């Protein structure tokens, strides 16, 4: 190596071999660059593995940003699609909109113009309902975004064209007559109104190729007169839009000429603000508004997970560089011996990190773009309802943000290892290789910071739980999340102190299984820092996943008991347009999924204070067999009435009081008040008591429970079918509950999916650590092979090592996740009542198995390279 002159300030004065007398010392980094590149080539394999971690992280960011772009584009397209081929939008206050439309139509250069009007309609046919937006057929088809697939456009009042989806759902075709239900206000003072229903004829079926009405499931087209009657008058103050198609002479380069703009502006009759904008301008403005709102929330939400993935990637990088520096100790010392300055070594490591960061991030951006493009290719095959762009839009942000983030994360991760490189004493080159090691142990500052963060964080979490139980859920959740994050950071920072002890404990158990396992257990403890850094990377992902699943499990089972009280039975049939007929009981019992049914009777009773109480009753045995919570009917016996806390308060009664109820039959029955928290069973008395109050008490409903294996939504549909002729109202709390659970599951699935990226990166970290250890222990492995370790034992040793590291990370992550999940659930759910803290055994098992198998898989490649090296070669290696 050429003698290098350095100006690094960390060099002790006089020790730097300054240049030849006479020539001023000049800074020359070239040897450093050349040395760095040579080192990188030597460590290419190791760096690649670390680079993949960063690559995945940046790909995640890139895909998220691209998805954001796609959403913005799709939003823009959908908005623009609504105006079809219109050129301009005239927005007015809508006070005199009819005159405005006429004025716009009469403006020079305007070919066609129409008001953008809609009405919400409820279509009914064959017992099915469909809500849809109704839009007026415009004056000119160029203003119509929908295409006709069958029949014709409505031209007379009472004619409609329906979207294909609606036609299918309602089972109607062109020529059929269906009912339109709408709510008509009869008294503007009180807001009272009634539902009216009128028949209309389907004359056409439409499709929505540009997704103009994708959000509302397509639009029903009717004549302008019908829409005007069905819809409300424009709300004063809301912008009223008139879309217009212009004559080519009024357009200059696709834009309306200033003359037309002025003419339109002055044509508006309505008072108040008005504007003339192109459809593009309008779509841009509206989509920008949305992008600043909901879309931003989406971006922030997903990018949070990308940040977790990058944090884990940073750990993997830091670990890799730490090991690389340790492996190069001898070379570094040698360099110091021949005159390299500390600054040069520091810069060399950072340069290496920068090169790695840039290359890996570029790879990540490329991967992200390819993934997003593939998704866009595949997406049209699934019916997602929204037309998506076919090509990803590559904005500078999509490339630059991930690139910058990936490079910075890599650089920051390499800071500590770079500092370690400068600590290598020149003397180290003279010591035998075996005794070399990078500084062990960890600083006191770290210990103190870790302890403070854990204590402070736990305190905050405690406060959060207290606030949650106190009903201040928002504040409580904020405290819990903040405290959880703080304590997790403390735990992560402090893993080096305690994680090796856990590893030692698990290792001692594993070591009993054989000599290879004993070697593996001993190996994981040789380098506590490396083992804990590797396991920590996995711990983060596992902790977050377990937190989510535990929280979801708690929410689910807490909701279960709450739902039992809110929705006491699986299926309820109640009077609708007609009373529940006596035949309903048999009809419902005949449905396959139904296991038991109960007839519920009801009658009004007058209380001494003059209040009326709507009392219900059912056969006590049937009732017990049908309600979800059998014990809910406890306390219901002749002479008692079940009342909720609220009812008791309203009626000024207390548990144990006796109240005299007088029925329409004239008889007075004394009833003792029993409190119930089960919403379904409030106002229940025994059937005998009800009959005494009103011998003619009518059948007020039928309750049914479903067979355990029944699919709630299907069962509900079956019961609805069975009751379709009767005009009764069928609700399915069971289906509602299933839907609720599905929502939890879908959300959980998304979150776990996003977190899984962090776990994948961590597993790469495990593999990387193992490969590095294998390289480091080449001589040792050769020795072991020479004294009789078989190939499969060597493979087994590395497998156990991988599983041990992964297992430690997973076990600790699971424990932490349970703790966080429970405290989170306590904070968020206490308001719903008693929180049941369950252990999601299944999820827990899956996480553990996945982690351990991942550790096993991570050992495959390192084991292969360990076996490839011939014993002789390794014995000779320095």
Partner 1 sequence: MDTTVYVPVDGTRAVRARDLTKTYGSGEAAVHALAGVDVDFAAGEFTAIMGPSGSGKSTLMHLLAGLDTATSGQAFVGTTDVTALNDSALTKLRRDRVGFVFQQFNLLPMFTAEQNITLPVELAGGTVDRQWFGTLVETLGLTERLTHRPAEMSGGQQQRVAIARALIAQPDVVFADEPTGNLDSRSGAEVLSFLRRSVRELGRTIIMVTHDPAAAAYADRVVLLADGRIAGDISDPTPESALAGLDALRTLEPNVSTGTTPVVPGAGAR
Helix (H, G, I), strand (E, B) or coil at 189: coil
753: burial class by Cβ within 10 Å (0-12, 13-18, 19+)?
Answer: exposed
- Integer Cα distance of 705 and 625 in angstroms: 8
Query: Does residue 325 touch partner 1 according to CB under 8 A?
Result: no
- Integer Cα distance of 855 and 800 in angstroms: 8
What would the DSSP string read from start to end of 478-509? Answer: HHHHHHHHHHHHHHHHHHHHHHHHHHHHHHHH
Query: Does residue 789 touch partner 1 according to CB under 8 A?
Result: yes
Looking at residues 853 to 872 of the shown chain, list those that interact with partner 1 (rule: CB under 8 A): 870-872
- Integer Cα distance of 104 and 117 in angstroms: 16
Nearer to partner 1 among residue 197 and residue 870 (C-beta)? 870
Query: Does residue 434 touch partner 1 according to CB under 8 A?
Result: yes
Query: Does residue 523 touch partner 1 according to CB under 8 A?
Result: yes
Nearer to partner 1 among residue 667 and residue 780 (C-beta)? 780
Nearer to partner 1 among residue 343 and residue 507 (C-beta)? 507
Pick the piece of the chain touching partner 1 (CB under 8 A) from 317-325, 475-483, 741-749, 783-791: 783-791
Out of 33, 124, 404, 522, the only residue in the binding site for partner 1 (CB under 8 A) is 522
Query: Does residue 525 touch partner 1 according to CB under 8 A?
Result: yes
Nearer to partner 1 among residue 556 and residue 785 (C-beta)? 785
Query: Does residue 38 touch partner 1 according to CB under 8 A?
Result: no
Pick the piece of the chain touching partner 1 (CB under 8 A) from 123-131, 204-212, 415-423, 787-795: 787-795
DSSP 379: G
Query: Does residue 514 touch partner 1 according to CB under 8 A?
Result: yes
Please identify which residue in the block is written with the tokens 């827990």: 844
Query: Does residue 776 touch partner 1 according to CB under 8 A?
Result: no
Query: Does residue 3 touch partner 1 according to CB under 8 A?
Result: no
Looking at residues 682 to 721 of the shown chain, list those that interact with partner 1 (rule: CB under 8 A): none
- Nearest-CA neighbor of 207 among 247, 147, 263, 153? 147
Give the nearest distance from C-beta 775 to partner 1 in angstroms.
16
Query: Does residue 631 touch partner 1 according to CB under 8 A?
Result: no
CA 140 to chain centre: 43
Nearer to partner 1 among residue 793 and residue 836 (C-beta)? 793
Pick the piece of the chain touching partner 1 (CB under 8 A) from 69-77, 80-88, 370-378, 521-529: 521-529
Q: What are the phi and psi torsion angles at 384 (to 5°)?
A: -100, 0
Query: Does residue 875 touch partner 1 according to CB under 8 A?
Result: yes
Query: Does residue 330 touch partner 1 according to CB under 8 A?
Result: no
- Nearest-CA neighbor of 763 among 520, 530, 538, 536? 538
Pick the piece of the chain touching partner 1 (CB under 8 A) from 363-371, 419-427, 460-468, 516-524: 516-524
Nearer to partner 1 among residue 65 and residue 789 (C-beta)? 789
Give the nearest distance from C-beta 515 to partner 1 in angstroms.
4
Helix axes 473-511, 444-469, angle to 10 degrees: 130
Give the nearest distance from C-beta 534 to partner 1 in angstroms.
17
Residues in the interface with partner 1 (CB under 8 A) total 27
Q: What angle do CA 345, 313, 522 make, to 5 degrees?
A: 80
836 contacts 552 by C-beta, under 8 angstroms: no
Strands 612-618 and 594-606, sheet pairing: antiparallel
Query: Does residue 504 touch partner 1 according to CB under 8 A?
Result: no
Looking at residues 793 to 822 of the shown chain, list those that interact with partner 1 (rule: CB under 8 A): 793
Greatest Cα pair distance, the chain, in angstroms, is 124
Tell me which H or E stretch contains 599: strand 594-606
What are residue 123's DSSP bridge partners? 130, 180
Query: Does residue 31 touch partner 1 according to CB under 8 A?
Result: no
Nearer to partner 1 among residue 96 and residue 780 (C-beta)? 780
Q: What angle do CA 155, 158, 164 make, to 5 degrees?
A: 80
Q: What angle do CA 63, 69, 73 make, to 5 degrees?
A: 140
Pick the piece of the chain touching partner 1 (CB under 8 A) from 3-11, 438-446, 523-531, 741-749: 523-531
Query: Does residue 430 touch partner 1 according to CB under 8 A?
Result: no
Query: Does residue 779 touch partner 1 according to CB under 8 A?
Result: yes
Q: CB atoms < 10 A from the CB of 878, how many?
A: 5
Please identify which residue in the block is written with the tokens 């419902």: 588
Q: Which pair of structure tokens corresponds to residue 757?
A: 């990226």
Query: Does residue 526 touch partner 1 according to CB under 8 A?
Result: yes
Pick the piece of the chain touching partner 1 (CB under 8 A) from 107-115, 331-339, 362-370, 779-787: 779-787
- Integer Cα distance of 395 and 400 in angstroms: 9
Pick the piece of the chain touching partner 1 (CB under 8 A) from 311-319, 480-488, 775-783, 848-856: 775-783
CB-hemisphere CA count at 13 Å for 291?
18
323 contacts 420 by C-beta, under 8 angstroms: no
Nearer to partner 1 among residue 735 and residue 794 (C-beta)? 794
Give the full edge-to-edge strand order of the sheet including 240-246.
110-115, 240-246, 88-92, 275-278
Query: Does residue 420 touch partner 1 according to CB under 8 A?
Result: no
Q: In 25-175, at which residue ranges do the beta strands (DSSP E only) sit?
A: 88-92, 110-115, 118-125, 128-136, 147-151, 159-163
Query: Does residue 791 touch partner 1 according to CB under 8 A?
Result: yes
Nearer to partner 1 among residue 195 and residue 434 (C-beta)? 434
Give the nearest distance from C-beta 522 to partner 1 in angstroms.
4
Q: What is the C-alpha R_g of the chain?
A: 37
Query: Does residue 530 touch partner 1 according to CB under 8 A?
Result: no
Pick the piece of the chain touching partner 1 (CB under 8 A) from 313-321, 515-523, 556-564, 679-687: 515-523
Query: Does residue 788 touch partner 1 according to CB under 8 A?
Result: yes
Helix (H, G, I), strand (E, B) or coil at 243: strand
Give the nearest distance from C-beta 438 to partner 1 in angstroms.
15
Query: Does residue 778 touch partner 1 according to CB under 8 A?
Result: no
Give the nearest distance from C-beta 426 to partner 1 in angstroms.
22
- Nearest-CA neighbor of 766 among 847, 846, 863? 863
- Integer Cα distance of 379 and 70 in angstroms: 12
Out of 17, 158, 515, 635, the only residue in the binding site for partner 1 (CB under 8 A) is 515
Give the nearest distance from C-beta 434 to partner 1 in angstroms.
7
- Integer Cα distance of 565 and 664 in angstroms: 30
Q: What are the phi and psi torsion angles at 572 (to 5°)?
A: -125, 130
Nearer to partner 1 among residue 142 and residue 778 (C-beta)? 778
- Nearest-CA neighbor of 752 among 853, 847, 649, 849? 847
- Nearest-CA neighbor of 240 among 207, 263, 274, 267? 274
Sign of the Cα pseudo-torsion (723, 724, 728, 731, in order): positive
Pick the piece of the chain touching partner 1 (CB under 8 A) from 244-252, 522-530, 571-579, 661-669: 522-530
Pick the piece of the chain touching partner 1 (CB under 8 A) from 48-56, 295-303, 444-452, 777-785: 777-785
Nearer to partner 1 among residue 323 and residue 643 (C-beta)? 323
Sign of the Cα pseudo-torsion (405, 409, 412, 414, in order): negative
Query: Does residue 435 touch partner 1 according to CB under 8 A?
Result: yes
Query: Which chain residues interact with partner 1 by CB under 8 A?
Result: 434-435, 514-516, 518-519, 522-523, 525-526, 779-780, 783-791, 793, 870-872, 875
């Amino acid at each position: 190596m050429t003698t290098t002159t350095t100006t690094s300030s960390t060099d002790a004065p006089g020790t730097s071999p300054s240049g030849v007398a006479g020539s001023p010392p000049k800074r020359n980094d070239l040897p450093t660059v050349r040395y760095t590149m040579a080192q990188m080539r030597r460590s290419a394999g190791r760096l690649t593995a670390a680079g993949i971690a960063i690559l995945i992280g940046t790909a995640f960011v890139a895909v998220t940003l691209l998805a954001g772009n796609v959403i913005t584009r799709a939003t823009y397209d959908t908005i623009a699609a609504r105006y079809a081929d219109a050129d301009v939008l005239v927005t007015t206050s809508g006070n005199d909109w009819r005159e405005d439309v006429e004025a716009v139509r009469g403006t020079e250069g305007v070919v066609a113009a129409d008001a953008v009007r809609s009405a919400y309609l409820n279509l009914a046919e064959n017992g099915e309902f469909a809500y849809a937006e109704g839009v007026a057929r415009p004056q000119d088809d160029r203003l119509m975004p929908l295409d006709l697939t069958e029949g014709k456009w409505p031209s007379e009042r009472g004619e409609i064209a329906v979207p294909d989806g609606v036609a299918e759902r309602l089972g109607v075709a062109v020529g059929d007559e269906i009912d339109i239900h709408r709510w008509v206000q009869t008294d503007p003072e009180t807001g009272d109104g009634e539902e009216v229903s009128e028949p209309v004829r389907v004359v056409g079926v439409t499709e929505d190729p540009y997704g103009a009405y994708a959000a509302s499931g397509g639009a029903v087209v009717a004549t302008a007169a019908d829409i005007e009657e069905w819809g409300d008058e424009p709300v004063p103050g809301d912008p009223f839009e008139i879309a217009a198609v212009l004559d080519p002479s009024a357009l200059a380069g696709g834009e309306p000429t200033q003359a037309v703009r002025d003419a339109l502006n002055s044509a508006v009759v309505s008072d108040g603000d008005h504007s003339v904008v192109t459809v593009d301008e309008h779509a841009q403005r509206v989509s920008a508004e949305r992008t600043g709102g909901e879309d931003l929330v989406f971006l922030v939400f997903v990018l949070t997970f990308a940040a977790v993935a990058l944090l884990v990637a940073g750990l993997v990088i830091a670990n890799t560089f730490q090991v690389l520096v340790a492996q190069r100790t001898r070379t570094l010392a040698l360099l110091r011996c021949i005159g390299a300055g500390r600054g040069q070594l520091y810069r060399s490591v950072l340069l290496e990190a920068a090169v790695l960061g840039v290359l890996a991030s570029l790879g990540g951006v490329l991967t992200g773009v390819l993934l997003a493009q593939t998704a866009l290719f595949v997406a049209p095959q699934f019916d997602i309802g929204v037309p998506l762009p076919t090509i990803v839009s590559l904005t500078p942000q999509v490339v630059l943000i991930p690139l910058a983030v990936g490079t910075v994360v890599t650089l920051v991760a390499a800071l500590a290892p770079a500092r370690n490189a400068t600590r290598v004493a020149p003397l180290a080159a003279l010591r035998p290789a075996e005794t070399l090691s990078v500084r062990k142990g960890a600083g006191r500052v770290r210990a103190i910071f870790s302890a403070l963060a854990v204590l402070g964080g736990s305190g905050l979490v405690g406060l959060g739980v207290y606030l949650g139980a106190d009903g201040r859920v928002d504040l409580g959740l904020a405290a819990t999340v903040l405290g959880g994050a703080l304590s997790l950071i403390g735990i992560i920072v402090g893993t080096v102190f305690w994680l090796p002890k856990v590893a030692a404990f698990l290792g001692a158990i594993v070591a009993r299984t054989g000599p290879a396992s004993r070697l593996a257990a001993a190996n994981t403890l040789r380098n506590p820092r490396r083992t804990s850094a590797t396991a920590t990377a996995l711990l983060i992902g596992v902790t977050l996943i377990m937190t989510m699943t535990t929280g979801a499990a708690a929410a689910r089972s807490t909701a279960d008991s709450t739902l039992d009280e809110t929705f006491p039975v699986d299926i309820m049939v109640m009077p609708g347009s007609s009373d529940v007929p006596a035949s309903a009981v048999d009809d419902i019992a005949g449905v396959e999924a139904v296991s038991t049914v109960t007839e519920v009777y009801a009658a009004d009773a007058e209380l001494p204070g003059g209040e009326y109480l709507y009392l219900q009753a059912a056969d006590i045995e049937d009732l017990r067999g049908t309600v979800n919570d059998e014990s809910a009917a406890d306390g219901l016996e002749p002479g008692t009435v079940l009342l909720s806390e609220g009812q008791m308060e309203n009626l000024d009664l207390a548990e144990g009081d006796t109240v005299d109820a007088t029925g329409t039959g004239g008889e007075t029955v004394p009833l003792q008040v029993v409190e119930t928290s089960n919403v379904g069973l409030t106002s229940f008395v025994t059937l005998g008591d009800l009959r005494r109050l009103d011998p003619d008490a009518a059948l007020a409903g039928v309750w049914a429970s479903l067979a355990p294996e029944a699919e709630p939504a299907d069962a509900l549909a079956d019961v609805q079918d069975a009751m379709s002729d009767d005009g009764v109202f069928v609700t399915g709390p069971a289906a509602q509950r299933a839907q609720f659970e599905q929502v939890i599951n879908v959300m959980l699935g998304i979150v776990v999916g996003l977190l899984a990226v962090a776990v994948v990166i961590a597993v790469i970290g495990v593999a990387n650590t193992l490969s590095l250890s294998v390289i480091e222990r080449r001589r040792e492995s050769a020795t072991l092979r020479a004294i009789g370790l078989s190939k499969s034992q060597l493979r087994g040793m590395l497998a156990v090592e991988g599983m041990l590291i992964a297992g430690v990370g997973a076990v600790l992550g699971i424990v932490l996740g349970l703790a966080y999940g429970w405290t989170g659930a306590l904070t968020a759910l206490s308001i719903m009542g008693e929180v049941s803290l369950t252990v999601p055994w299944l999820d827990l098992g899956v996480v553990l198995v996945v982690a351990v198998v991942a550790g096993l898989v991570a050992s495959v490649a390192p084991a292969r390279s360990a076996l490839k090296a011939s014993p002789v070669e390794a014995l000779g290696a320095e």
